Amino acid sequence: MIVTTANAHEAAEAAPTAVRWRIFAVVFVLVVINLIDRTALSIAMPTIAREFSLSPTMQGLILSAFFWTYALLQVPGGWLIDRFGPRRLIAGATIGWGLFQALAAAATGGTSLLLTRLGLGAAEAPLFPAGAKLNALWLSPEERGRGAVLMDSGSPLGAAFGGAIIAFLILWLGSWRLAFLAAGLATIALGYLAWRTLRDDPARHPGVNPAELARIRGAAAGGAAPAAETAPDRITARSMTGLLVGRMSWAMINFGLLTWGPSYLAQARGFDLKQMGYATFVIFLCGMAGSLFAGFSADWLFARGLSRGRIYKGMLGASGLAVAAAFLALPQVADPVAAVAILSATLFFLYWGSLYWSLPVMLAPRDKVGVVGGTMNFAGSASGIAVPIITGFVLQTTGTYLAVLLYFAACAVLYVLGTLLIAFPQARPAGRA
């Protein structure tokens, strides 16, 4: 399908289809499943640690192993996405990580479990950069905030459901191994759904009508593309530095909570497995709410004439400061329910950082979005490697979570500073001064 004058006239007469949102609904589901599989080990770790007699340091190594291969393959994965398109990478990755999740059920000790985590990290690596590429290919500038959070909000929802589902499966099946096997087989089946649904080019999707294609391309009938749609020639060194620093600092907090959050609830707050599952669900569900709030609010403000730079720096800066304040307040709270409430508020504001997934398409040329997204996610994944080990070492050294919480507060401040360094494009929606 090619947009012509006749197509543009038809676009003005017909209501646009909504295939682009079905595409992002599938990506959302895949991200949910991605995080369920990724966080399953964190939920099962107290049980596995007892079975395999794992020290806190060894637990940290196993929890971080996922990120070794995940980080290593981010930039190569982004290059492959730019070259071959996101559809192939997403479908293959989904089948691959489901296989490694199922293989974890056969682990006989810490080493074999660590190896399955390496495979899981390698297979999951392309998903988020591919989602950023789909954002560039399928959404107009006015919709990219929503697209970013519709994708990334699956992360806290997956963590929320992951905690509840994996805890339930372990209790119901009486085995963490059977729970991992069931989760892996379900993921493999979803690889087929991804292949059938996703497309790299909206013009080649049979369900997209001319009106939707015109909206995706950011052009009204017979009109020129708005200034906000203009792709930059390159990403500046300043913006790249801010992007990497901000994402790395944000991810330190996010992955720290994903990997050690359940153990914190069990060890520092005295929760049993069922209570830990419920608390994790509530905490990360609030993260999803925060992600969606941020994306829809950012697009709403953009449509009313504010620049992306002002919106993003204001919202992301406020979220980082709120997260820092929450971590400083948490050690002062003795009541477990109040602690869960504070962690819920923390995740609500932390997941305003989902907006970061709309930044590669704003800051980089269209044909480099995959590489820039992969590089950004490499920075975050490097944090995923470091933070479980750092947390385990600090716990083994101090015997308390206080130093860990203070470290997360410092990361939140650095996240704000990195975001402020980014030089956002100043263009506004069409028709705005």
Residue range 387-411, pLDDT digits in tens: 878 888 888 888 888 888 999 999 9
Dihedral angle over CA of 168, 173, 176, 181, nearest 10:
-100
Residue 46 has pLDDT above 70, yes or no: yes
- CA distances (Å), origin 203, targets 2, 7, 137: 7, 12, 10
Mean pLDDT along residues 332-340: 90
**Range with top average pLDDT, 31-45, 157-171, 293-307:** 293-307
Q: Is the pLDDT of residue 274 over 80?
A: no
Contact 301, 429 (CB under 8 A): no
Compute the distance between CA of residue 25 and CA of residue 8 in angstroms, rounded to an integer.
27
pLDDT at residue 400 in the model: 82
CA 30, 34, 38 angle in degrees (round to 5)? 175
Asked if 321 and 412 touch (Cβ cutoff 8 Å), the reply is yes
- Counting residues of the chain whose pLDDT is more than 70, the rounded percentage is 91
Which residue from 178, 184, 161, 167 is spatially nearest to 283, judged by alpha carbons?
A: 161
What are the φ and ψ backbone dihedral angles of 334, each rounded to 5 degrees?
-95, -30
Mean pLDDT across 17-40:
88
Q: Which of 180-184, 220-224, 409-413 has the lowest mean pLDDT?
A: 220-224
Domain residue spans of the chain: 12-421
- DSSP run (H or E) holding 163: helix 154-173
Which pLDDT belongs to residue 221?
A: 36
Please report the pLDDT score of residue 116 as a whole number.
Answer: 93
CA distance 406 to 394: 11
Q: What percent of the chain has pLDDT over 90?
A: 28
81 closest CA partner among 361, 368, 364 = 368
Instruction: Enter the DSSP assignment of 364.
Output: S
Torsion sign across C-alpha atoms 267, 269, 272, 277 = negative
The per-residue pLDDT for 231 is: 59
12-421 adopts what CATH topology? Answer: Growth Hormone; Chain: A; (1.20.1250)
* CA–CA gap between residue 360 and residue 381 (Å, rounded): 16
